[in-house]
Amino acid sequence: MERASNKVGPRIDEALKHDTEGLVRGGHATHAEEWKGSEPSGEDQPLATASPNFTPLETEGDGLTPAELELRAELASFIGRAPYPAVRDQVLATLRENRAPDHLIDLAKQLPAGREFQNLQEIWVGVGGRTEDRAS
């Protein structure tokens, strides 16, 4: 005999499972409107991670240090899904709008003026960040 203490039936259970499938598979918010998303961590709180199961890759030789990985991730969290291509002033405006810490704004001030950045990786390289080579 199957024991069930669920207040909804199997049909509603399947509908709820379908509704949350995008969130479970994507690992990030599925809201189209930015204001529906969760707020960033407060100054006195640790930064939220994308996934509790995330483990950084082990780096050897030319890989990024844990401090570089953390700085790049922090920069990405405050830039978010900014519209690309973006120039230096747009990146700075996005960081200020998202209330990024001063050290990230100072870092972004190192970006060359007039150059368009197509993605976060180009911004990271533009501020002097190293990239890792991944073996295929």
- Do residues 79 and 123 touch, judged by C-beta distance below 8 A? yes
Q: How many residues can be counted in the chain?
A: 136
Cα(75)–Cα(101) distance, rounded to whole angstroms?
Answer: 10
Higher pLDDT, 95 or 29: 95
Average pLDDT of the chain to the nearest whole number:
77
In the chain, alpha helices (H): 10-19, 21-26, 66-79, 88-97, 102-108, 120-126
- Do residues 118 and 86 touch, judged by C-beta distance below 8 A? no
Quickly state the pLDDT bin for 90 (edges 50, 70, 90). Answer: very high
What percent of the chain stands above pLDDT 90?
Answer: 21
Tell me 74's DSSP state.
H
Mean pLDDT for the stretch of residues 58-81: 80
| Per-residue model confidence (pLDDT) at position 5 | 57
pLDDT, tens digit, 9 for 90 and up, residues 35-63: 666 666 777 776 655 545 545 444 445 57
Quickly state the pLDDT bin for 88 (edges 50, 70, 90). Answer: very high
Instruction: Break the chain into its structural domains and give their ranges.
Output: 64-131
